[in-house]
Structure 1
Amino acid sequence: MSWLDEIRWTPEGLVPVIAQQAGNGRVVMFAWMNRESLALTAQEGYAVYWSRSRNKLWRKGEESGHRQKVISIQLDCDGDVILLEIEQEGGIACHTGRESCFYRQLVDGQWQAVEAVIKDPETIYKKL
């Protein structure tokens, strides 16, 4: 049996993935992978996700240059969530130009940005 067969995939053939910064443990993003993207991630050593909105493989950093070097790939006890320990190249994981996609915090019943933009997304993504 392949290591990929030990994963409990969703009916759509996906598995949720948490990307965590090596060294400090900060969760920088959440995404999805299919069998092909997970196999490519293990083979290439850089995160490859499955984009549900674009319905295609998405190599993290393919446009921005902010790739994620994979240090380790871990599977949770239920076999249905992947944890990637990564080194975030450029220090920016979020398309908004922030370190983490989790930059909003619930404060007094409203979502507030609690993390500053490191780099203007318009300078990162030429298509915006």
Structure 2
Amino acid sequence: MSGQWLDEIKWTGDGLVPVITQELGTGKVLMFAWMSRESLQLTVEKNEAVYWSRSRGKLWHKGEESGNVQALHDIRLDCDNDVLLITVEQHGGIACHTGRHNCFFKRYENGNWVEVEPVLKDPSEIYK
């Protein structure tokens, strides 16, 4: 597989591209993450989402510990070639490390952040 398609992406100075992950079927935004050139190529090869963890400084195959993998359906590149949108099938129904369906579970209400999405599974049961 030629890497020309990877060259069309405008990578940040540290070699990353922001990625919005959307759920197939519902259209719900599950999470935001980063991908490196290698993680994007692995995502295509594995047909599962592989991100770059900035906090850990390493590749992060989504679901590698929890089992809640993200099966790849579609990859889109925005008009400026600097943001990816991937559509996935979220296995296990949990995308967030807090045990929720998605990472956007806090809503602004009258000067406060209110948790509006339930914890589906205690994180201590997901991550060993």
Question: What TM-score do you get using the length of structure 1 for normalisation?
Answer: 0.97
Q: CA RMSD in A?
A: 0.7
Give the aligned partner of residue 31 of structure 2: 29
Identity of aligned residues (%): 62
Q: 1:70 aligned to 2:69?
A: no
Residue 114 of structure 1 pairs with residue 126 of structure 2: no
Supply the distance in 2 between the matched residues of 1:86 and 1:120 (Cα, whole angstroms): 23
Match of residue 106 from structure 2: 104
Measured after TM superposition, the shift of residue 119 of structure 1 is: 0.6
SS at match of 1:36: helix
* Secondary structure in 1 matching 2:43: helix
> Where in structure 2 are there 5+ consecutive unaligned residues?
none
Note the alpha carbon deviations across 1:16-64, whole angstroms, 9 max, x for none: 0010000010000000000000000011100000000110000000000
- Provide the secondary structure at the position in 1 that maps to 2:73: strand
Q: Which amino acid aligns with 2:27?
A: G
Equivalent position amino acid for 2:64 in 1: E
Q: Please give the residue correspondences for 1:1-128 in structure 2 after superposition, counting only pairs within 5 Å.
A: 2-126=4-128
Aligned length: 126
Q: Secondary structure at the match of 1:86?
A: strand
Q: 2:45 & 2:79 partners in 1: Cα distance? A: 23
Moved segments of 4+, more than 6 Å: none
